[in-house]
Structure 1
Amino acid sequence: MATSLGSTPGATTPGGMTQAANTPESEKDAEFQEHEKILSPDLLSTVQITDLLTEDVDGVQEKLRMFLNFKNLQTCSKDAILLDYYVSGFLWAKGMDFSIIQCSKFMTLIDMLLHNLKTLNMSLKDNIKWLGKVMAEIRPTRSQRIDEWNTFGVKQANAIIDYLKISFFQHYKLYEFMFYSTREEIVIGTEQVIEIVNPAGGPFPSPLEEGISFDIYSKFIEPPPILDKEMKGLDQEQGHEESQPETDTLDMDPLVGFTTEDVKSVLAQITDDILTDVQTEINEKLQIQEEAFNARIEKLKKA
């Protein structure tokens, strides 16, 4: 930017240097630099904003997680809340059709509001005042265009204030509680190492810890463990030996050594015994019925 140097009557600088004259171009350049310092440094670069504008909701959440370095979303509720705060803000700005620079400035604005609360411990009243000053400084004047410095118009500024009212200021106490309240850490589980005592079934007692090393004991004193395959083999052999006599008895014919006549005589004897018992039982029942009929006949005769 070219500036002109000239002498001012009655005013000299030390060393004989003259002061620079204030031209309209230099005033505009200084005003532009002052404007750029209001919301800087940017939270997200223009490249990152451009990348986010092409993503859907899940993509925006994943990209912001990487850009803002949130690593403990699964275990830290604070990180999850802050990520949701930034994701919601960016999606709202995207829905408002903000330009890339406007989206970047808006993300810086909502980040600075959190910074005022977390680091500077601003009250709700002071943070609202700070927002009012910022919005007043970044809005264009009547002689400026909105896209000249990529600032926000009046409608956009009002929309931003309305959004921050329902998303941030309305829940200010909750954000204060999140940043400043001390919470107890709940121990979900603990890891303990337990030393198991060797069984006393061996021929020798377990060695003292200071008396002999475990390597020597396990190599020369402790009996070697029986392998699982050997145990299975022994069980199979024992089971085979126990089942062998049973199979032998099942294979033998129970009528070996008997003739046909022997079988007939045995069956005839069994049949006679069964029929004799049945005949005796029938005779007893008939005798009882006969006595009952005789008693009835005698009663009828007497009547």
Structure 2
Amino acid sequence: MDFSITQYSKFMTLLDMLLHNLRTLHMSLEDSIKWLGEVMAEIGPTQSQNNEKQNVFDIRQANAIIDYLKISLFQHYRLYEFLFFSTREEIVIGTEQLIEVVKTSVRPFPEPLVEGISLDIHSTFIEPPSTSDTEIKGLDQEQGPEHAQSESDTSDMDPLVGFTIEDVKSVLAQVTEDILTGIQTEINEKLQIQEEAFNARIEKLKKA
């Protein structure tokens, strides 16, 4: 309607007062229509030249406002009364879930998450060293460079010493077979589900 700022303010105040009369004053439909007529007589068009400057809406705008209120608020007045005055039962739908947390122990174990790491890796790389480990390191420093040299020589040894190529191949074949078996089983299950879905669709098409 290309209202001005003053017209927007009056129009929103009018809507708010109509809902206030219904919600707070419990005004009936007839009383609301009478109240609207009185208000529109003040802010709407009049034939008096003295109040011409106080008129906010012209005839076209006033008729548009009345038509809007007739098809929105007044036409569904009983629905608004039901909304404001009728008590309704509040239905809460929810699910209670019980979460069990691992009890804390003297030894700090990894968090029980799906993406948690194994205890061996946690104890080796993440878990802070205990007091006994610190004392052992202190003793190692006191023993001097000769003992450290012997430990470095031991650490330089190939961990695969004593294993043949056939042993490595057998281990790799077993690991690969386990992985492929799991993947193949998963693929077969998905294919079976899709096949059942397609068969159901075909049966529906046949019946149609």
Structure-2-length-normalised TM-score: 0.48
Structure-1-length-normalised TM-score: 0.35
